[in-house]
Structure 1
Amino acid sequence: MDMSTNSADPAPAIDSELESHYNLRARHPERGAIYHGFAQRSAATRRNASAHLDLRYGPEPSSTMDVFVPQAESPAPLLVFIHGGYWRALDKNNFSFVADAYLDAGVAVAMPNYALVPHATVGAIVDQVCASMDWLMGEAPRLGFDPGRVLISGHSAGGHMAAIMACPQRAPALRGRLLGCVCLSGLFDLQPLLRTSVNTDLNMTPAEALALNVYAAELADVPLLLAAGELETVGFRSQSEEFARYLAARGRAAQSMIVPGRNHFDLVGEFADPGSALFAKTLALLRGARQ
């Protein structure tokens, strides 16, 4: 896998409106406190006896994965959760707590890590995460989950990668195994990022952004739940709402969900809350049959 950074064409001028939609660091100074709470909860999760930590799925230093498997008489369905961070920040360890409620519901959870820019291009990162599924499906007998019942999920940049992984050409190991896909504050068209300061780090070219456009992907015919927080920017809410409309117009089982009172960051907590509607919808997909 080529993990080097591409040279970039001259960057287009920053669009102030797009910057306000997608530069979330300036908009959400409270994200530090939210992530601190996530880290504390995740440290406890990682001490759970069900945790298989830092399993190596590939040769890169970043190619590690955590898998949490409940005690059960039969193999559990599997939720794959891909963390966000604009392909430039964060780590699977920040989000281990997501597994807690799903384990209690009898669901196994896998969380792949991946390289971050500038050590890899966005395209190489997407390829790395897709390839991780080859290893994971092969480890099902040893780890004790059901490889025939898999739900892909992810947050923000992870939501983009979850949608890409629902394309059999990109993640062939998941072909015929998917129960559905849940994207939290997902990005389905990366081209708006080209005219924001985010791309100063990502260094994507227009051709790369176009190649990673989920609209052009041939997704598996499985249900998709596209959730965003009510308090998110117009840019992030419209990414989910417009992609859901696009899929529904083509006869696909896609649902947009705006979660009241949640922003881009604390939406992950809602996904992990057994009392939330978002958790209930995700669990219903996990307990459903493959399409």
Structure 2
Amino acid sequence: MTLDATLDRAQIDEDYNARSTVSEAAFQDIIADYSRFSDQAAALFMEHAGVVYDPCGEKLDVLGAGGDGRPAVIFVHGGYWRALSRAHSRFMAPMLAARGVATVVPDYTLAPAVSLSEITRQVRAALAYVWHNAADLGIDRRRIFAVGSSAGGHLAACLAADGWQAAHDLPEQVLAGAMPISGLFELSPLARGHPQEWLNLTDAELDATSPMRHVPAVSCPMVVALAEHEAPGFVRQSQAYARAWSDAGHPVSHMVIPQRNHFDVILDLCSDQSALSAALLQMIGETGAHHEA
């Protein structure tokens, strides 16, 4: 039985309504902070702006690479696959650049203009572009980490999933680590709730784009994180995904960030004093120790 299979439409809609966890005023303030901090980061650390990574025409930015083969964090934005952009998503670059880590922020075409299968393909193409062009971008392709929030958490998990790398001429596991934050990993509940209105998921897409069903044989370190104040469906999703990764024998930790909600939790990546940043920096540092050894 898949996750939340016994819930009716009304309960799914309630349990997967992230906006219900904050007031409208708070939501607007947080989105404004995304833009404000991202603009500041771009002004200070932008190195490669608007790089077209795929024939689809979508672009990515690279910040803080420094030209010396640094590890890189690819951050995939959320917005339930239908909102936001890379312009909202550069805010962690100053914190990472100060520690010798580059930030890569891709756009993807938003639903319902394209399918979730195409969105997933685009984000994978962005990772493939970075890997294949790492030297020119100042990135160490052995140390690429995927981080994402909400829908971006789903897409970050899709980057860690199996079965797609050969089509992009990539190793079986291209990531050095992943941190999906407030993510969605088994999409069958969404096909029975309000997100289906813009996703139009088919049964084949559900199987192909649910990373819970594609936990790889070749793993990377995984941190599954979420806020204390999440809608119940997101809580169950993170718990189930961390459990699936653990059941496969892969390294995984599960973090709940106190006093944060679905939207402001990722702003903790602006500060190296937060638990979220500490976990990410530890994962990056551990891979560095491994390569040096």
TM-score relative to the length of structure 1: 0.89
Matches within 5 A, 1:174-213: 175=172, 177-213=174-210
Between the two proteins, what is the percent identity of the paired residues? 31
Q: 1:171 to 1:159 in 2, by over 3 A?
A: farther
Amino acid at match of 1:75: G
Contact kept? 2:73, 2:102, Cα under 8 Å:
yes
Name the aligned partner's letter for residue 20 of structure 1. E
CA deviations on 1:12-34 (whole Å, 9 max, x unpaired) are x9711111111223443221110
Partner of 1:4: none
Say which is worse superposed, 172-181 or 28-37, in terms of deviation. 172-181
**Equivalent in the alignment of 1:121:** 115
**Gap change, CA 1:41 and 1:259, over 3 Å in 2:** same
String of CA shifts for 1:74-106, please: whole Å, max 9, x gaps. 421111111111111110110111212011111
Q: Residue 256 of structure 1 aligns with which residue?
A: 254
Q: Deviation at 1:51?
A: 3.0
Residues 1:46 and 2:45 aligned together: no
Q: 1:216 maps to what in 2?
A: 213
Gaps in structure 2 of 5+ consecutive residues: 1-6
Alpha-carbon RMSD: 2.0
Q: How big is the shift at 1:112?
A: 1.0
Q: Which residue of structure 2 lines up, in the alignment, with residue 153 of structure 1?
A: 147
Distance verdict in 2 for CA 1:141–1:285, change over 3 Å: same
The correspondence for 1:65, drawn from 47, 60, 67, is 60
Alignment partner of 2:83 out of 82, 89, 92: 89
3-state SS of 1:20 partner: helix
Determine helix, strand or coil for the equivalent of 1:106: coil
Answer whether contact 2:162 2:214 (CA < 8 A) is retained: no
Match of 2:3 in 1: none
Mapped partners of 2:236, 2:45: distance in 1: 40
SS class of match (1:19): helix
- 2: distance between equivalents of 1:25 and 1:259? 18
Partner Cα distance (2:115, 2:30) in 1: 28
Q: 1:49 to 1:274 in 2, by over 3 A?
A: closer
Note the C-alpha offset of 1:154.
Answer: 0.9
- Note if 1:279 corresponds to 2:277: yes
Q: Distance in 2 between matches of 1:102 and 1:181?
A: 15
CA distance, structure 2, for counterparts of residue 279 and residue 174 of structure 1: 27
Shift in Å, 1:168? 4.7
Aligned residues: 277
Checking the alignment, whether the CA contact within 8 Å between 2:21 and 2:262 is kept in structure 1 is: no
Corresponding residue SS for 2:100: coil
Moved over 3 A (4+): 174-177
Aligned-residue offset at 1:167: 2.7
Q: d(CA) in 2 for partners of 1:273 and 1:206?
A: 41
